[in-house]
C-alpha cells in the first residue's frame, strides 16, 4: 500500500515537473532557397538550381530539455532553371513557383545544436515561366499543392538568434503532366522572442 502511494506521488510529481518545463516562444525566420526540380526521363531536358528566398513565422513549444515542437508558416519562392531542346535548338528558361507553406518541425536539441525532422503542406500562390532573354508569361499547369519532408541542422548563436540549414523534398509532381518534383536546400537565420 505504501509503495503504491509512493509511486503514485512520484508519478504526479514527475508529471507536474515535466509540465512546468513546457514553454512557448514565437519567432521569425528567413533566408535563401537553392531549389531545383528532379530530373525526368527526357534526355533533352535538364534542370539546375536557382536562388530565391523564404520568410516566415513560427511558434516553438519546448516540451522537454531535448525536444521542441515547432509549427511554422512560411512564404517560400522556389523553382528551377530548365534547359531543353526544341527542333535541335537548345533553350533556357526559369521556372518560378511560390508557395505558402505550413510545416511542423520536430527539433531535438543537444546543447546549442539541434537536429530537425518534419513535414510541410505547401499551397501554390502563383507561378510564372520566364524564358531567359524573353518576356514572362503565366503557366497554370503547375499543381496547386505539394507535400514535402525535410531534415536539417541548427545552431543557437545566442538565446534569441540562431542559424539553420534544411533539405526539403517534395513528393507530389510539380507539373501534373510530368514526373518532376521539388528539391530545396534552405539556409537562413531565426530570431525567437521572449514572452515576459
The per-residue pLDDT for 154 is 98
Whether the CB-CB separation of 55 and 87 falls below 8 Å is answered with no
**Tell me: the pLDDT tens digits for 33-76?**
999 999 877 777 889 999 999 999 999 999 999 999 999 999 99
Q: Identify any residues that bridge with 60 across adjacent strands, giving them in sequence order.
A: 25
**pLDDT averaged over 10-residue windows placed end to end, the chain, 196 residues:** 51 48 93 93 85 97 96 96 85 90 97 97 84 61 91 97 98 83 97 89
Q: What is the pTM of this model?
A: 0.82
Longest Cα–Cα distance of the chain, Å, equals 87
Predicted pLDDT of residue 171: 94
113-131 vs 182-192, strand pairing mode: unpaired
**Domain 23-192 maps to which CATH number in 2.40.160.20, 3.30.565.10, 1.10.630.10, 3.60.9.10?**
2.40.160.20
Amino acid at each position: 500500500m505504501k509503495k503504491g502511494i509512493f509511486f503514485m506521488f512520484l508519478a504526479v510529481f514527475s508529471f507536474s515537473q515535466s509540465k512546468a518545463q513546457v514553454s512557448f516562444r514565437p519567432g521569425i525566420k528567413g533566408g535563401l532557397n537553392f531549389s531545383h526540380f528532379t530530373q525526368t526521363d527526357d534526355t533533352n531536358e535538364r534542370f539546375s538550381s536557382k536562388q530565391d528566398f523564404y520568410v516566415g513565422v513560427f511558434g516553438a513549444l519546448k516540451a522537454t530539455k531535448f525536444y521542441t515542437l515547432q509549427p511554422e508558416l512560411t512564404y517560400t519562392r522556389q523553382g528551377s532553371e530548365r534547359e531543353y531542346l526544341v527542333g535541335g535548338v537548345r533553350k533556357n528558361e526559369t521556372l518560378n513557383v511560390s508557395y505558402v507553406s505550413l510545416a511542423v518541425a520536430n527539433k531535438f536539441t543537444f546543447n546549442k545544436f539541434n537536429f530537425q525532422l518534419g513535414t510541410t503542406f505547401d499551397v501554390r500562390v502563383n507561378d510564372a515561366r520566364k524564358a531567359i532573354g524573353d518576356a514572362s508569361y503565366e503557366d497554370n499547369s503547375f499543381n496547386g499543392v505539394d507535400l514535402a519532408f525535410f531534415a536539417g541542422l541548427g545552431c543557437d548563436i545566442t538565446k534569441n538568434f540562431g542559424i539553420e540549414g534544411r533539405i526539403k523534398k517534395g513528393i507530389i509532381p510539380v507539373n501534373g503532366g510530368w514526373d518532376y518534383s521539388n528539391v530545396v536546400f534552405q539556409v537562413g537565420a531565426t530570431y525567437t522572442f521572449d514572452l515576459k
